[in-house]
Each structure stands twice: as structure tokens, then as C-alpha cells.
Amino acid sequence: MTSIPPSLSFDSRTEWLRGEGRASDVVMSSRIRLARNLAGCPFPHRGTRVHRQASLQLCKKAILAGNLSPRLIWVDLHDASPLERMLLVERHLISKHHSKSRPSAGPPAAGPDDPRGVAISLPDERVSIMVNEEDHLRIQVIRTGLALSECWKEIDEVDNRLEAALPYAYCPRFGYLTSCPTNVGTGLRMSVMLHLPGLRLTGDIERVKRAAGDMNLAVRGFYGEGSEAAGDFYQLSNQTTLGKSERQVLEELEAQIIPKVVEYERVARRTIATKRLAAVEDQVYRALGILTQARLISAEEAMQLLSHLRLGVVLGIIKQIDQSLVNHLMLLVQPAHLQRVLGREMDQDQRRIARGDLLRTKLAR
């Protein structure tokens, strides 16, 4: 049995799962991340283990002394179990890349896991800071609903406090210097997690994706780069970081592009609710039926059905369940969460059974 340290016990006060805030019928969460590096230090992938240990110590000290949040916990990922790491990925607190075991290069060949970590603000999980990922620092702020301005205000302040203690790599021409040149400049990635079942049902989703591509925005799935759009969830984010200020990107996304997509989705939902109500109700109630009756269920199927259920809740077809519960269930059905809730490691088949049990219990009236 893998034990989860008490520091890593999350509760239901996670900010971005609340299902509240502006346009929360369509926008599940808003997220901003900043990439920062230390001047005079090789980027994590290039440095030696000694370099990475030094950057980790330096950043960890600055983060913990920076008064960034009322309560901030630190997790040394090189010491964390695979289950703990997976749990953090599922909660969008670290990237998949950061969770993977990376033996340090050089003798001994299969050396200890690379020194790296993450700081997380609790209980809201709004702020998380990865150290020694692709860049020395990856600062993230995530909030419920459409709240990019609020995210920016908060992350800007966290960034200022860290900069007061750390020598950032910066030059006037290229801005904040990052390991990958696609992030150089502002080092900014602004994204929103959109729930777009209406546009999928009307068949307009491909057009929206193409339009986003034309505007140089990236469209990704629920778990970011390389993940599928599980349950009609799409992450829309900026890609340009050089020559466009944070304010410009914020203005474009929050005031222009996202409200338009939200409006398209609402129109699509209204259209299907008036023209194809029976079909939508059927989909929603079938989803609820399976979720409350299934004995064996995979994470993918559960996500898709929870997405249908979420649409039913938002449209007022299902009244006894709230959006926040559906959001939380989307996390609880993920493999690491399931094992954490039940307190033991399970193989895939055992998880399918456990997932069915959990959904029936949680959705029982």
C-alpha cells in the first residue's frame, strides 16, 4: 500500500473545481503560467546534477521565504512515489513531463532521480510553482470560470516577489529567456478550459478549432499537450510570447476571443435545447443511468458521461446534482485519485470496479 503524506491530502476547497465565476457554464477554469530562469545558470536539461541541485535549493528557498500564499507546501518530486506524482498531474498541479522519473545523466548510469520539485498553495491549489521542469521556474495560477485578469494580477505579484529574491535571466531584446525559444519574451501561457458539448453536437466544433488555429491559438485536450479532448473539454491558449505584451494577450483572449466562443457554445446549446430537446435529454439521462448503475467503467467512458451530465446540469435538465460535484467527479475517476480515495494500489480491472462503486455512491440521491 502506498501511503500519501498528510501534506498531500487535498480537500474540496480547490478553487478551479468550484464551477463558479464568470461564464462558468462554458469556462471551467482559467490558467496562466510564466516561465522563468536563473541568470548565469544552464537550463535544467543542459546542466549537471550539481547545477540542478543548486537551482532547486535557490528557488525552493526563495519560494518558501517569499510569503507567496498563506499556506504553501513543498513536494520534492524526486522523493515522491509514482502515485503521488500522478495525483499532482491529475490535479493540473504539475506537468506529465515533470512527473516522469528522470535519472540524472553521468555515472552511475542509472543515477538517482533528477532533483526537482513543486510548491502548491493550499487549500485552494490556486498557485503552483514547478522547479527544474523545462525551465528553472514554471509559475502557475489557476482559477474557476473566466478569470484571466484575476489570474494575471495574482501571478504578476508572485512573480515580482520571486524576482526580488532571484536573479532572473532577462535581456531587453528577447525578454525573459527560456529553454525553448517558443516561450521566450513574456514566458506567458494564458489558457482557458472550455466545455463545448453544444458545438460538438451541432457539428461546429471543427470550425471553431480551425478559427482558433488561424488566430495562432493552440487547442489542446483536458490534460494539455498531447492529450485528447476528453469529454468535450478543450484548452485554448496563446502561442505567441515575443512581441506581444501580457496585456495584449489578456485583452485579446478575455475581452474578444473567449466571450465569442462562449457565445457560440451558448447559441449551440439553445439550438439543441429547442430543436433537439428529446435527443439531448436522452443523452443526459442515459449518461446518468450508466453512471449510477455501471459495475465496471473506464476513466475515458466516465469522463465522456460526466461531460453529458454536466451539460444536463447546466441546461437545467438535471436539478439534483450541482456542477461542482460533476467537476470533482472528473478528478476522482482518474486512476491516481481513485487509488488515493480507496487508500490502496489497484490494477486497471480493479480500478474499473472501484470507479463504478465510487460513482454510484457519490451520485446516489
Residues that bind another protein (CB under 8 A): 37, 39-43, 45-46, 134, 156, 159-160, 163-164, 167-177, 179-182, 184-186, 188, 216, 240-248
CB nearer to another protein: pick between 181 and 343: 181
- Phi (first) and psi of residue 340, to 5 degrees: -70, -45
177: which strand partners?
A: none
Torsion 281-283-288-294 (CA) sign: positive
CB of 34 to another protein, least distance (A): 9
Q: How far is the CB of 177 from another protein (least distance, A)?
A: 4
* Residue 21 Cβ vs another protein, minimum distance, rounded to whole Å: 25
Nearer to another protein, 133 or 232 (CB): 133
Burial (Cβ within 10 Å: 0-12, 13-18, ≥19) of residue 335: middle
Q: What letter does residue 260 receive in the DSSP assignment? A: H
- Provide CB contacts within 8 A for 322, sequence distance 6+: 19, 313
Strand partners, 176: 170, 185
For another protein, the closer CB: 154 or 246 = 246
Report the nearest approach of another protein to the CB of residue 215 (Å). 10
Q: Which is nearer to another protein, 104 or 186 (CB)?
A: 186
Do residues 191 and 237 touch, judged by C-beta distance below 8 A? yes
- In whole angstroms, the minimum distance from the beta carbon of 346 to another protein comes to 37
Q: What angle do CA 79, 83, 86 make, to 5 degrees?
A: 100
Comparison of 39 and 255: residue with beta carbon closer to another protein: 39
Q: Which amino acid is at 259?
A: P
17 or 217: CB nearest another protein: 217
Q: Give the nearest distance from C-beta 329 to another protein in angstroms.
A: 38
In sign, the C-alpha dihedral spanning 340, 344, 345, 349 is: negative
